[in-house]
Structure 1
Amino acid sequence: MAILKSGNSAAAIAQIKVAPTVRDLRALEKALAAAQLTGRWKDVDIAIAESLQALSAPRLHRSP
């Protein structure tokens, strides 16, 4: 949130892409909604959705 509030959406997207868990991304979504900032940065919303999808999807292959 601090990165977004400073206006550096590119750095925020970079952090979103390396978010360790779905829980962290959900917390960010809730924080954006609570601050009424959802939709302000479309690219950030897209990055969150894509990262959630990637982390939530079952793995196609597993190591033996």
Structure 2
Amino acid sequence: MSRQSVWATKVMALIKGGNSTAAIAQIKVAPSVKDLQDLRKQMAAGNLLKTHPNVDAASSDMIVALSAPRLHRAP
């Protein structure tokens, strides 16, 4: 049983509040792939992936970027 990411919950609040620009800025400095995946799960549960295609694209792109071994972020 895993806990939901606090980061993902905070970014979801930005998205629900209509501030997708700030959400994308946060996505670009995401702490880990797991946090991004948690965010995408929360967005899918709230049917927000279709209504915010720019956030959807940014999160997908960052998952790919952070998954590359040469581009991972140090803890």
TM-score by length of 1: 0.87
Query: Where does the alignment leave 5 or more consecutive residues of structure 1 unmatched?
Result: none
Alpha-carbon distance between aligned partners in 2 of 1:36 and 1:49, rounded to the nearest angstrom: 16
- Of 43, 49, 52, which aligns to 2:63? 52
The alignment partner of 1:59 has SS state of helix
Partner amino acid for 2:30? A
- For this pair of structures, how many residues does the alignment match? 60
Query: Where does the alignment leave 5 or more consecutive residues of structure 2 unmatched?
Result: 1-11
Of the two, which has the highest radius of gyration? Answer: 1
Q: Which structure is richer in relative contact order (CA contacts within 8 A, separation 6 or more)?
A: 1
Tell me the CA shift for residue 58 of structure 1. Answer: 2.3
- Of 14, 26, 30, which aligns to 1:19? 30
Query: What value does the CA root-mean-square deviation take over the aligned residues?
Result: 1.2
TM-score by length of 2: 0.75
Percent of aligned positions that are identical: 57
In the other structure, the counterpart of 2:19 is: 8
Runs of 4+ with deviation above 6 angstroms: none
